[in-house]
């Protein structure tokens, strides 16, 4: 009998491909920024090969520092949530330091407009300098990337029924997960109902 296939665990800093959604959005490379086991999702930064067109909101990382055969631009403003399932089966292509990921998130958070402030020497990166102007080709390119990324990812609502169902599915064999005070109340209710049904059936 064949053993269960062991996929490499998703960890912060990994560069992986985020699968396309057929007919809706095409695949992109992303860097993992945060992993959440609660609903098997993770936050990801969008990566781009357009390093020549990296703006002051992007960080350009040399291929040697990311263990890839090409330089890459981490697009600071493009952080969103994706299902781990759409990343897990794809190989780890490169790795960024967790420290860099944290630094970029912090830099983007504290300066929502203009250039991001990050210690370039400390992290061996370069903040982009391309002056994207409204309506120019780079602006259009970024706009298209944002639209595609928005379709590939989603915004999580922990109070939603969808989240409750997903949480229940993932944790149905892990009762301790329901002890968390932040657990969605619907998830607890669903678990109670399904447990009751099993008991009645028995």
Footprint on this chain of another protein (rule: CB under 8 A):
17, 19-20, 26-29, 49-50, 52-53, 63, 68-71, 93, 133-141, 143
| β strands within 62-111, DSSP E | 72-83, 94-95
Q: Least distance to another protein from the beta carbon of 29, Å? A: 5
b/e 137-165 (16+ beta carbons within 10 angstroms → b) = ebeeebeebeebbeebbeebeeeeeebbe
Radius of gyration of the chain (CA): 20
Q: Least distance to another protein from the beta carbon of 73, Å? A: 11
Rounded to whole angstroms, the Cα distance separating 124 from 66 reads 10
Tokens representing 100?
């860099």
Q: Least distance to another protein from the beta carbon of 15, Å? A: 9
Q: Least distance to another protein from the beta carbon of 130, Å? A: 10
- Quote the Cα angle for 21-26-29, to 5°: 110
When the beta carbons of 52 and 109 are compared against another protein, the nearer one is: 52
Closest CA to 164 of 182, 139, 137: 182
When the beta carbons of 60 and 103 are compared against another protein, the nearer one is: 60
When the beta carbons of 64 and 121 are compared against another protein, the nearer one is: 64
When the beta carbons of 30 and 59 are compared against another protein, the nearer one is: 30
When the beta carbons of 11 and 136 are compared against another protein, the nearer one is: 136
Q: Least distance to another protein from the beta carbon of 49, Å? A: 5
């Amino acid at each position: 009998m064949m053993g269960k296939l062991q996929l490499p665990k998703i960890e912060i800093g990994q560069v992986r491909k985020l699968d396309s959604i057929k007919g809706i959005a095409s695949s992109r490379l992303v860097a993992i920024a945060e992993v959440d086991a609660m609903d098997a999702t993770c936050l990801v930064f969008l990566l781009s090969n357009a390093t020549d067109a990296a703006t002051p909101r992007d960080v350009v990382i040399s291929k040697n520092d990311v263990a890839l055969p090409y330089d890459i631009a981490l697009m600071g403003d493009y952080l969103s949530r994706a299902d781990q399932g759409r990343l897990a089966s794809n190989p780890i292509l490169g790795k960024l330091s967790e420290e860099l990921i944290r630094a970029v998130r912090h830099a983007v958070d504290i300066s929502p407009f203009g250039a991001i402030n990050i210690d370039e020497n400390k992290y061996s990166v370069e903040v982009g300098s391309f002056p994207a102007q409204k309506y120019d080709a780079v602006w259009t390119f970024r706009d298209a990337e944002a639209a595609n990324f928005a379709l590939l990812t989603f915004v999580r609502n922990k109070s939603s029924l969808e989240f409750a169902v997903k949480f229940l599915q993932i944790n149905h064999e892990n009762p301790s997960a329901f002890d968390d005070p932040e657990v969605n109340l619907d998830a607890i209710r669903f678990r109670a109902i399904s447990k009751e049904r099993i008991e009645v059936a028995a």
